[in-house]
Amino acid sequence: MSAPAPSAVPSFRSRIGCDPRSGYYAAPRRYRLHLSLSCPHCLRIAVTHSLLGLGDILPVTLLPAVPDAPDGGHPELRPLYEASSHQHPGPAVAPVLSDAWTGTIVSTHAPDILRDLARRFGGRGPDLFPRGAEAAVEGIGRLCERDITEAAQRAGRPDGDPAARESALATLTHALDALELRLAAQEYVLGAEPTLADVELWVALVQLDTVHRHHLDAAAVTRVTDHPQVWAYARRLAAHPAFGAHLDLDGIARRHHAHCRGEEAAGAAVQIVDWAAYARDVSRPASPTPTRACRSRS
């Protein structure tokens, strides 16, 4: 299983408003995203950024897949952390939304960044965080975190009790069962249009197949694979340039091996999706669509 991310990281959680009275407000090229595409939080943000077509007004700096500072951070981000937190003691990690006007960090909190991209920089892309659907979007996010990602980690724990591993696998397969029913009836998780719930789920499925599967036995992977609607959905989204263009498979593998604390199991040989068929050159982000600077959905 993979080790958790460094914990000594201050949480910068300022939010983007929609007018100058808010302090931070949406303005073309005022902000910059700093992302490492091997990180699932950063991958979610990169996909959302492309879906919304924000390339012209919100530039992105791509960071190495594996941070190479001794404390587990990115040296490239150290000046931003130092400017934002005096004598910052912890690692300088991604994701980061920075403010070019002040040279400081606005936020390192991925859920807030995602919602601000959708609500404040929405441009002409889809409404990824529609009014009235907040609870549903957040519910899918919790399901992805607890019942897919965390359950898969527990199911692959080599030193875990067999009953606990089986219970975790049951949690994972029940979550996939529920999603299978949803996706048999509709194109996206919440209906006919994509939302942040689809970004959350797709990245969770990428991680499930490219990381957590390696610590499951072959029988467990067979149970995970036995959800044809879910994995067809994963392939369909991967074929969309806003998704597949950000797949850094080599980076994901290197990040996994850098933090992995478990042994590879038989399920490692049973790949579910040929992600390489959809991955693009990650140094060339998907082409943006025309946008405007601030689109309030408040």
Q: What is the pTM for the complete model shown? A: 0.90
Question: Model confidence at 125, in pLDDT bands (50, 70, 90)?
Answer: confident
State how far the Cα of 81 lies from the Cα of 77, in Å rounded to an integer.
Answer: 6
Task: Establish if 36 belongs to a structural domain.
Answer: no
Average pLDDT over residues 261-284: 75
Q: Write down the pLDDT at residue 18.
A: 72
Task: Establish if 11 belongs to a structural domain.
Answer: no
Average pLDDT over residues 192-206: 98
Task: Establish if 196 belongs to a structural domain.
Answer: yes
Task: Establish if 26 belongs to a structural domain.
Answer: no
pLDDT in tens, 187-198: 999 999 999 999
Q: Write down the pLDDT at residue 257.
A: 84
State how far the Cα of 233 lies from the Cα of 237, in Å rounded to an integer.
Answer: 6
- Indicate the number of domains in the chain: 1
Task: Establish if 198 belongs to a structural domain.
Answer: yes
Q: Which domain holds residue 160?
A: 134-277
Contacts of 17 by beta carbon, 8 Å cutoff, 6+ apart: 23, 24, 25, 120
State how far the Cα of 196 lies from the Cα of 24, in Å rounded to an integer.
Answer: 22
Question: Model confidence at 87, in pLDDT bands (50, 70, 90)?
Answer: confident
Q: Write down the pLDDT at residue 159.
A: 76
Q: Which of 5-14, 29-38, 284-293 shows the highest mean pLDDT?
A: 29-38
| Total residue count of the chain as it appears in this document | 298
Task: Establish if 181 belongs to a structural domain.
Answer: yes
Q: Write down the pLDDT at residue 237.
A: 98
State how far the Cα of 96 lies from the Cα of 264, in Å rounded to an integer.
Answer: 32
DSSP sequence for the chain: -BPPPPS-----B---BSSGGGSSB--TTTEEEEE-TTSHHHHHHHHHHHHTT-TTTS-EEE--SS--STTSS-GGGHHHHHHHSTT--S---S-EEEETTTTEEEE--HHHHHHHHHHHB-TTS--SS-TT-HHHHHHHHHIIIIIIIIHHHHHT-TTS-HHHHHHHHHHHHHHHHHHHHHHHH-SBTTBSS--HHHHHHHHHHHHHHHTGGGGS-HHHHHHHH--HHHHHHHHHHHTSHHHHTT--HHHHHHHHHHHB-S---GGGG--SS-GGGT---TTSPPPPPP--S-B---
Task: Establish if 29 belongs to a structural domain.
Answer: no
Look over the chain and give the mean of its residue pLDDT values, rounded to a whole number: 88
Q: Write down the pLDDT at residue 289.
A: 35
Q: What is the CATH number of the domain that holds 241?
A: 1.20.1050.10
Task: Establish if 293 belongs to a structural domain.
Answer: no
Contacts of 281 by beta carbon, 8 Å cutoff, 6+ apart: none
Q: Which of 34-43, 156-165, 252-261 shows the highest mean pLDDT?
A: 34-43
Residue 281 has pLDDT above 60, yes or no: no
Residue 142 has pLDDT above 60, yes or no: yes
